Amino acid sequence: MGIMLDLPHDLLVYIAEKVDLFEDFVALGGVCKAWRSAATEENFSRRPQIPWLMLAQREDSDVRGFYSLSKGMIRTVTLPEANEKRCRCLASEGWLITAESDWSMNLLHPLSRLQITLPHTSTLKDHDSVIYDLCIWKAVLSSSPSSSDCTVMIIQGCLLKLAFCKLGIDNAWTTIETKLSMYFDVIHFNGNFYAVDGHGRVLLCDVEGANPTIAEVVAKLPSELHTRTIEKLYLVESSGKLLVVSRKGVCVRPVDETRDVDEDDCELTYGTTSFQVFEVDLSNDGWTEVKNLGNRALFLGHNSSFSVEASHESVKANCIYFADDCLESYYGEDDSVGGGKDMGIYNLRDGSFTPHFTENGTTNDIMGHPLLDYVVDEKFRIDGNLVDIGGTGDAHGGHDHHQRGSEDAQNVQEQPISSVEQSVADLITQEV
């Protein structure tokens, strides 16, 4: 061990530059002072990071679990702010968006536990018409809250409408006015928000333009491709291109469809049958079907969706990792119902399915299974993307650092690196 501690600095730098995974890079910096001096921002490889899977909560608990795809292990962190008894969680840009039982909303960083207040849901235009215990179905950030121009876009209400707020500026949500149209997904792409609705239309939401409350149709899925068998449409950025992914399958059906049965006599026979991927040409309303993703993989779920480079053997190229998005499956009191059955890996080349992280059974957590993809920003702080992707299990860990209020957004930028970095260092040493 003494020999390892006495290695020349240039050799330590060479070793640090060869480390691809951020969790390994943090561990390298924890060996000793000399190794930490080599584990600096300029020596990190900056290769795309492998996602962490934040597992669904099965019982009332302050503990959440994170599944490392690269390590095949579960890490735990204490996160009482994300306890499903008091809130529901969505995710974007490395932050959780929590909607609590009193309808208040916050941004929550799962490692530093920093919180930033969002406008109350009572300021939403159709707040009184919401019939579910959760009125926010999707949330997307335009950038990290540490930036000066972060905008939050949400899909909300039983009619699945769009609304947005500018962080630190707006005290209320602004609704984007559209005709009868329910939105399936929204994404921030090339400086603008884009949404896809139930008619297969892609709409531009220019919140900085002259008409920020008007959505403009910029592309439409061909009618012959948009059929009733499509259960969900997703928007994903991959290699600088905007993709629309259609997910086909069945949802909740009776055991015997030839006869009338009571609700209690139904069986959840839902399941995804196939995916199709299309590249959107925003300049001329064009579509091209994508048959090969190259060396990339897509991660899909009703929180947010993204693509990663398949740079590690734990991520399969030209594949789609998907969560259980059949919301009806989450309604119920026991294990005879519950979501988490319909998730896995879809091979775009041959149309085959592979089960993924299904050993923990079902869950009644309607918000599903966010997936956390850590990256390191230009200031060597931890940032990332969270999406909804399959997985079930218990969870726990964390710090007592809290800050509230949209006016504290700049404090995120000033947050000492050590506390957040130590959070990750703690996580990677907790293995289940």
CATH number at 273 reads: 2.130.10
Please give the helix or strand (H or E) that residue 428 lies within, else none: helix 417-429
Query: Residue 136 in contact with residue 154, Cβ under 8 Å?
Result: yes
35 and 67 inside one domain? no
Q: For residue 310, is it left (φ>0), alpha (ψ between -120 and 50) or beta?
A: beta
pLDDT digits (tens, 9 = 90+) for 193-248: 999 998 889 999 999 888 899 899 999 888 766 665 567 899 999 999 999 999 98
State mean pLDDT over 338-366: 70
Cα–Cα distance for residue pair 415/432, rounded to 1 Å: 29
Number of structural domains found in the chain: 2
273 and 351 inside one domain? yes
Query: pLDDT tier at 283 (50, 70, 90 boundaries)?
Result: confident
pLDDT score of 349? 94
198 and 217 inside one domain? yes
315 and 346 inside one domain? yes
Query: Residue 304 in contact with residue 385, Cβ under 8 Å?
Result: yes
Q: Which of 52, 53, 56 is nearest to 366 (CA)?
A: 56
34 and 81 inside one domain? no
21 and 157 inside one domain? no
Rounded to 10 degrees, the C-alpha dihedral 9/10/14/15 comes to -20
Considering only residues 396 and 136, tell me which one the structure prediction assigns the higher pLDDT: 136
Considering only residues 399 and 73, tell me which one the structure prediction assigns the higher pLDDT: 73
Helix axes 22-29, 9-17, angle to 10 degrees: 160
39 and 78 inside one domain? no
Strands in 87-92's sheet, in edge-to-edge order, are 87-92, 95-100, 105-108, 115-118
Query: Residue 427 in contact with residue 397, Cβ under 8 Å?
Result: yes
40 and 70 inside one domain? no
pLDDT digits (tens, 9 = 90+) for 86-112: 556 677 777 888 877 777 888 888 777
Q: Which two tokens stand for residue 88?
A: 């529901």
Assess whether pLDDT exceeds 90 at residue 166. Answer: yes
164 and 20 inside one domain? no
Percent of the chain scored above 70 by pLDDT?
64
Which 3 state secondary structure label does DSSP give 330? helix
Host domain of residue 404:
48-429
79 and 129 inside one domain? yes
123 and 19 inside one domain? no
pTM: 0.76
Q: Are strands 95-100 and 87-92 parallel, antiparallel or unpaired?
A: antiparallel
State mean pLDDT over 100-129: 82
pLDDT score of 238? 94
Cα–Cα distance for residue pair 322/314, rounded to 1 Å: 15
State mean pLDDT over 369-377: 41
pLDDT score of 131? 45
Assess whether pLDDT exceeds 90 at residue 191. Answer: yes
35 and 52 inside one domain? no
